[in-house]
């Protein structure tokens, strides 16, 4: 910007003086023009006035000729009622006592009211004004004897010393005018600060969004602002428009695109957009083709414009408004606000608007209801209850605040109680717009999530919805793009409370007075009533009942489901393990809907499912802690069944023939204590969990797809040899198998066993020697195998070994074996990079660090005087922990070089009780050291290792520096026995 003085001090003064919102609201004019009529009225001043008017800047100009020496009371009022005074110093400005009187009043308002003053030197040397020389000296000669001369001179000097605009440094007057108008706009923007209640919390988004817009770049950039309804997208875009539009040559805020396009069509919207960008020219385009003349496009291509397209709902709307953004001039910016992320195919960046914080929520709510920033005395708790309901949604906060304004505490309490049953319809209707834009299957998916599946893992929700023949994957993506749901922690489907409430309301309106005629039942009182009194109808598709909410046992008739012939989702469950009351069927159960896809019934009280039940459509069967002895008689056509979970069904003695369950993926029979033998013939089964089946002695599984087998705490005496032929088996759990004394070596292991976890029985004395062939196995658990006397050669990629309380292991041999394994596993990676197993951990009994370690101590620290730098890979730590329980035991090592910490490693160890001292061996890679520096070219000096433990359990530790060599890896300070 071409100015003759630095204006930073002036801006700070203005900012500090513009804190009062009342001052802002009382101003009538944006700009007051002070000028010498005879010099500039018909030329420069008139042009400046028109330029300001084009930018919608409310400007006061006095068209009357100056009369007398005293300015009028009306003029004084106009000066006081203006944010900015633009003083045009021309050659004869000082000759007018009227002008000098105006200037005196202007400078007084600057001092007392914080008014902004912008001096403009029009064809005059600024020094003549500042020092009253030249024509200004001649003018003051005529004012001799005037008592106000000294005051006028002081005002001239002060004004001329402000940041100013000088026409003499411009080539053309048009450029001069353009820069003045831009400066006026920039200085006016802070005079309309965000004191309005709807802008609470918006300011903190500015910096992020402005960085995304890259205002200084000459490229055309398009930013999408996306979020759920009522979240504040339009408010944020409006605030950005107000703040940034002065930087552009043309601007247009096209509001309510979705609604306006429906009402008036795209032609009217496009006419408005191009007309405003070309400063209110009356343009008209062909209604059928939307063609714009090349002349119009070429003119726009020369303008740096700022466009906001608010509430765009479809890609078609966006394309019809601006089919190709290439016609926009360099530096142009476009902001598009939407609830539908799918329209953002052309945008450069997307900004997701988030909920307000509790602090900002309370502030916005209080401004809406009390017109103050804090709750009124006595309304603190009620206000917090209100904002808890709104969950950070600005629209909800403002609407609820307005509805409670000037009402009594009793009215507040009544309204808040009402909201627990009935949503505010104004909020509901805004949020429902996103739902209305969904197709049939997407609406069904949304309602199922809102009523039944919120908080579940995405994969599980997808599986259930696919069972209902919904296009789950694409439907979930659409709901995400429309901000109707979110993904928490990368896996869990969530939705905002008000969005869920909106979904509930949609279902409630299917039949307001009769819950039995609604598609989904989830509200406890209504479900209880419908089931108990047999009020269900064919309309019902899903039912969920939480047993933990029962206040007494619920007795149902044998035909309570008979009328609900279209139920596809039935869940009777408990969040608590200690359910007091249950559902009982004194006369049995007549039938279940043949359309049932998902059946979850905890504590099912019968010994089997109804004989008339057809399970052909069933996809998931989950019956925890049931009284089932068997599922059904005979063979069912289970062509769709994927999951069986009968956890805790202690009376279960058999499961049905599953040979026709071609899609079966998982069977869980944990704690089915009456189950003595089991045969599962399935081609597709991947997971079989028999944990805690304490009577199970024999089992057979034929699936070649088996990846996980859990036989922990069963009574098996031997493993079928076929187990070792399961090429996809990754996890085998055998902990607590006290009858299992031996693992056969024959036939040899085969398969990759990638990422395996093996937990062995406590009576096992030796592992199969060919376990080393399981080259991709990464973890082995041997805890409490107290008869285990030795380890075979470990698999190459093993990263974790847990042998807690394996007290028959030889400490020295095991330490040597583990150290050798840690070196050996890195050999394939030596030449170019090392295997970075940052979580490596080996844990087994031991009461001392082996003698071969030269760097060991019983103190809490040790210093190595120097180490050669070339080929240093990292360090292996051997840490001795004393016996006893490990309850969240943190073990850490801080590494210092010359007193500066350069590295840090921490592990959390947990175990119920160590019956002897144990050693934990960890690896610390040199790449994790972030501040290590060279004192000399080839070695590190004074490397200190400090080991700490929150339970003070470390009795000794040792450090092995690990180096690469041509032949492999070696441990320095270990008498080089390991290579």
Q: What is the pLDDT of residues 144-168, one digit of tens each?
A: 888 899 999 999 999 999 989 999 9
Domain boundaries, the chain: 27-189, 206-350, 356-421, 425-508, 524-595, 605-710+717-725, 847-969
The Cβ of residue 51 has, within 10 Å, a number of other Cβ atoms equal to: 17
The answer on pLDDT for 24 being more than 50 is no
Mean pLDDT is lowest, of 351-365, 583-597, 753-767, 884-898, for 753-767
Question: Which of the given ranges, 275-289, 452-466, 790-804, has the highest pLDDT on average?
Answer: 452-466
Side-chain half-sphere exposure of 784, counting CA atoms within 13 A: 13
The topology under which CATH files domain 206-350 is Rossmann fold (3.40.50)
What confidence category does residue 577 fall into, taking pLDDT thresholds of 50, 70 and 90? low
Least Cα distance to 339 among 485, 126, 540 occurs for: 485
The answer on pLDDT for 880 being more than 90 is yes
3-class DSSP assignment, residue 444: helix
Least Cα distance to 951 among 872, 861, 898, 887 occurs for: 887
Structure tokens at 599: 């059946």
Instruction: Quote the percentage of the chain above a pLDDT of 70.
Output: 87
Mean pLDDT of 471-482: 93
pLDDT tens readout for residues 608-624: 999 889 999 999 999 99
Alpha-carbon distance of 787 to 766, in angstroms, equals: 8
CA 394 to chain CA mean position, Å: 18
Mean pLDDT is lowest, of 189-193, 359-363, 526-530, 783-787, for 189-193
Alpha-carbon distance of 895 to 478, in angstroms, equals: 50
Structure pTM?
Answer: 0.68
**89 beta partners:** 121
What confidence category does residue 66 fall into, taking pLDDT thresholds of 50, 70 and 90? low
Mean pLDDT is lowest, of 321-335, 487-501, 555-569, 855-869, for 321-335
The answer on pLDDT for 100 being more than 90 is yes
Choose the catalytic residue: 80, 91, 102, 852: 102
Q: How far is CA 894 from CA 84, 538, 654, 929, in A?
A: 61, 67, 56, 10
Residue 3 has what pLDDT?
36
Query: Is 102 a residue of the active site?
Result: yes
Residue 315 has what pLDDT?
87
Mean pLDDT of 794-821: 89
Cα torsion through 723, 727, 730, 734, rounded to 10: 10
Mean pLDDT is lowest, of 535-539, 732-736, 744-748, 835-839, for 744-748
Alpha-carbon distance of 948 to 839, in angstroms, equals: 18
Inter-helix orientation angle 440-448/458-467, to 10° = 130
Burial class of residue 773, CB neighbours in 10 A (0-12, 13-18, 19+): middle
Q: How far is CA 392 from CA 9, 356, 381, 579, in A?
A: 38, 4, 17, 35
Q: Are 957 and 880 in contact (CB under 8 A)?
A: yes
Angle at 731 between CA 728 and CA 732, to 5 degrees: 115
Q: H helices within 484-607, ranges in order?
A: 497-508, 524-532
The answer on pLDDT for 22 being more than 60 is no
Residue 933 has what pLDDT?
52
CATH class of residue range 356-421: mainly alpha
Structure tokens at 817: 């074996």
Q: Which long-range contacts (CB under 8 A, 24 or more apart) does 250-253 make?
A: 250/276, 250/277, 250/278, 250/279, 250/300, 250/303, 250/304, 250/305, 250/306, 251/276, 251/277, 251/305, 251/306, 251/307, 252/276, 252/277, 252/305, 252/306, 252/307, 252/308, 253/308, 253/310
What confidence category does residue 64 fall into, taking pLDDT thresholds of 50, 70 and 90? low
- Give all strands (DSSP E) within 122-249, no chain letters: 165-166, 221-226
pLDDT tens readout for residues 739-760: 876 665 544 444 444 555 565 6
What does the DSSP assignment read for 874-943?
A: EEEEEEEE-SEEEEEEEEEEEEEETTEEEEEEEEEEEEEEESS-EEEEEEEEGGG-SS---SSSSEEEEE
Alpha-carbon torsion (675, 677, 683, 686), positive or negative: positive
Mean pLDDT of 20-49: 80
Q: Which of the two residues, 89 and 23, has the higher pLDDT score?
A: 89
Contacts of 675 (CB under 8 A, 6+ apart): 652, 653, 654, 669, 690, 693, 695, 696
Residue 329 has what pLDDT?
87
What confidence category does residue 779 fall into, taking pLDDT thresholds of 50, 70 and 90? confident
The answer on pLDDT for 731 being more than 90 is no
Contacts of 177 (CB under 8 A, 6+ apart): 47, 48, 51
Residue 743 has what pLDDT?
64
Cα torsion through 427, 429, 431, 434, rounded to 10: -170
Residue 235 has what pLDDT?
86
Alpha-carbon torsion (240, 244, 245, 250), positive or negative: negative
pLDDT tens readout for residues 268-280: 888 888 888 876 5
pLDDT tens readout for residues 495-530: 998 999 999 999 999 999 999 999 999 999 999 999
Rg (CA), the chain: 40
What confidence category does residue 283 fall into, taking pLDDT thresholds of 50, 70 and 90? low
pLDDT tens readout for residues 422-446: 888 888 888 898 899 899 999 999 9
CATH class of residue range 425-508: mainly alpha
The topology under which CATH files domain 847-969 is Jelly Rolls (2.60.120)
CA 853 to chain CA mean position, Å: 48
Mean pLDDT is lowest, of 201-215, 329-343, 437-451, 640-654, for 201-215
CATH superfamily membership of 27-189: Toll/interleukin-1 receptor homology (TIR) domain (3.40.50.10140)
3-class DSSP assignment, residue 546: strand
Task: Answer yes or no: same fold for 425-508 and 847-969.
Answer: no
Mean pLDDT of 452-464: 93
What confidence category does residue 726 fall into, taking pLDDT thresholds of 50, 70 and 90? confident
pLDDT tens readout for residues 934-949: 444 456 778 899 999 8
Burial class of residue 962, CB neighbours in 10 A (0-12, 13-18, 19+): buried
Q: Are 757 and 781 in contact (CB under 8 A)?
A: yes
Q: Which of the two residues, 284 and 420, has the higher pLDDT score?
A: 420
Q: Map 196-218 to HEC letters.
A: CHHHCCCHHHHHHHHHHHCCCCC
Question: Which of the given ranges, 191-205, 688-702, 886-900, has the highest pLDDT on average?
Answer: 688-702
DSSP secondary structure code for residue 98 in this structure: H
Contacts of 692 (CB under 8 A, 6+ apart): 670, 671, 672, 673, 712, 713, 714
Residue 774 has what pLDDT?
62
């Amino acid at each position: 910007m071409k100015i003759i003085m630095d204006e930073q001090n002036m801006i700070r003064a203005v900012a500090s003086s513009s804190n009062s919102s009342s001052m802002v609201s009382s101003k009538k004019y944006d700009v007051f023009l002070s000028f010498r009529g005879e010099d500039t009225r018909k030329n420069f001043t008139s042009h400046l006035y028109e330029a300001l008017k084009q930018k919608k800047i409310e400007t006061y100009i006095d068209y009357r000729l100056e009369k007398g020496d005293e300015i009028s009371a009306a003029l004084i009022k106009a000066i006081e009622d203006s944010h900015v005074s633009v003083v045009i110093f021309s050659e004869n400005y000082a000759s007018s006592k009227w002008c000098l009187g105006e200037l005196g009043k202007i400078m007084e308002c600057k001092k007392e009211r914080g008014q902004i003053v912008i001096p403009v030197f029009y064809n005059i040397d600024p020094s003549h004004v500042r020092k009253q020389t030249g024509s200004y000296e001649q003018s003051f000669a005529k004012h001799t004897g005037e008592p106000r001369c000294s005051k006028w001179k002081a005002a001239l000097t002060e004004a001329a010393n402000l940041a100013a605009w000088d026409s003499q440094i411009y080539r053309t007057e048009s450029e001069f005018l353009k820069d003045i108008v831009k400066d006026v706009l920039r200085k006016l923007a802070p005079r309309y600060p965000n004191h309005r209640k709807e802008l609470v919390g918006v300011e903190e988004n500015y910096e992020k969004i402005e960085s995304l817009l890259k205002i200084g770049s000459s490229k055309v950039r398009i930013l999408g602002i996306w979020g759920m309804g009522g979240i504040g997208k339009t408010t944020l875009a409006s605030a950005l428009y107000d703040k940034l539009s002065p930087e552009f040559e043309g601007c247009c805020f096209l509001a309510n695109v979705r609604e306006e396009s429906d009402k008036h069509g795209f032609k009217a919207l496009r006419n408005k957009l191009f007309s405003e960008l070309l400063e209110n020219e009356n343009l008209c385009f062909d209604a059928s083709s939307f063609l714009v003349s090349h002349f119009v496009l070429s003119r726009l291509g020369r303008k740096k414009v700022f466009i906001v397209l608010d509430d765009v709902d479809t890609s078609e709307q966006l394309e019809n408004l601006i089919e190709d953004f290439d016609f926009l001039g360099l530096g142009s910016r476009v902001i598009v606000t939407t609830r539908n992320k799918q329209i953002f195919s052309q945008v450069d960046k997307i900004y997701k608007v988030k909920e307000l914080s509790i602090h900002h929520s309370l502030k916005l709510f209080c401004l809406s209801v009390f017109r103050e920033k804090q709750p009124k005395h006595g309304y603190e708790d009620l206000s917090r209850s209100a904002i808890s309901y709104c969950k950070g949604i600005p629209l909800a906060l403002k609407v609820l605040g307005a509805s409670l304004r000037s009402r009594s505490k009793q009215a507040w309490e009544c309204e808040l109680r009402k909201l627990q049953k009935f949503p505010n319809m104004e909020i509901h209707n805004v949020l429902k717009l996103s739902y209305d834009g969904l197709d049939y299957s997407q609406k069904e998916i949304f309602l199922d999530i809102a009523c039944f599946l919120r908080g579940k893992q995405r994969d599980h929700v997808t599986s259930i919805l696919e069972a209902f023949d919904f296009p789950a994957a694409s439907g979930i993506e659409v709901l995400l793009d429309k901000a109707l749901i979110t993904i928490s922690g990368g896996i869990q489907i969530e939705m905002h409370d008000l969005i869920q409430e909106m979904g509930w309301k949609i279902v409630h309106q299917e039949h307001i007075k009769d819950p039995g005629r609604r598609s989904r039942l989830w509200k406890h009182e209504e479900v209880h009533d419908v089931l108990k009194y047999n009020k269900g109808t064919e309309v019902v598709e899903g039912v969920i009942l939480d047993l933990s909410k029962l206040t007494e046992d619920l007795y149902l008739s044998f035909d309570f489901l008979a009328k609900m012939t279209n139920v596809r989702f039935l869940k009777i469950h408990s969040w608590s393990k200690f359910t007091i009351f249950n559902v009982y069927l004194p006369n049995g159960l007549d039938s279940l809907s043949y359309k049932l896809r998902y059946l979850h019934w905890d504590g099912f009280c019968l010994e089997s499912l109804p004989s008339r039940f057809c399970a052909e459509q069933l996809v998931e069967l989950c019956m925890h802690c049931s009284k089932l002895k068997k599922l059904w008689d005979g063979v069912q056509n289970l062509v769709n069944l994927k999951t069986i979970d009968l956890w805790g069904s202690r009376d279960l003695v058999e499961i049905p023939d599953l040979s026709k369950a071609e899609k079966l993926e998982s069977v869980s029979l944990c704690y089915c204590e009456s189950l003595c033998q089991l045969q599962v013939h399935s081609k597709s089964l991947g997971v079989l969990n028999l944990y805690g089946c304490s009577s199970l002695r024999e089992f057979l599984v034929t699936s070649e797809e088996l990846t996980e087998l859990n036989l922990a705490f069963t009574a098996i005496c031997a493993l079928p040899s076929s187990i070792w032929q399961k090429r996809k088996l990754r996890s085998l759990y055998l902990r607590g198998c006290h009858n299992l004394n031996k693992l056969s070596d024959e036939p040899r292991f085969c398969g990759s066993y990638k990422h395996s976890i093996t937990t062995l029985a406590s009576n096992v004395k030796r592992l199969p020697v060919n376990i080393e062939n399981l080259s991709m196995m990464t973890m082995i658990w041997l805890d409490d195998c107290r008869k285990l006397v030795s380890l075979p050669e470990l698999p190459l990629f093993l990263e974790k070994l847990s042998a807690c309380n394996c007290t028959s292991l030889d400490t020295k041999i095991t330490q040597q074996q583990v150290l050798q394994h840690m070196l050996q596993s890195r050999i394939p990676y030596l030449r170019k990079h090392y295997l970075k197993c940052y979580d490596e951990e080996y844990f087994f009994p031991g009461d001392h660090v082996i003698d071969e370690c030269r760097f060991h101590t019983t103190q809490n620290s040790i210093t190595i005087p120097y180490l050669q730098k070339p080929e240093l890979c990292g360090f292996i730590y051997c840490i001795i922990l004393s016996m006893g329980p490990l309850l969240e035991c943190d073990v850490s090592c801080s590494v210092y070089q010359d007193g500066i910490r350069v590295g840090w490693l921490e592990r959390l160890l947990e175990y119920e009780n160590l019956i002897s001292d144990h050693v934990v061996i960890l690896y610390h890679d040199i790449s994790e050291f972030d501040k290590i520096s060279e004192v000399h070219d080839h070695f590190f000096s004074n490397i200190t290792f400090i080991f700490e433990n929150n339970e003070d359990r470390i009795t000794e530790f040792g450090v092995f520096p690990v180096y690469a060599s041509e032949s492999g890896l070696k441990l320095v300070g270990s008498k080089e026995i390991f290579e």
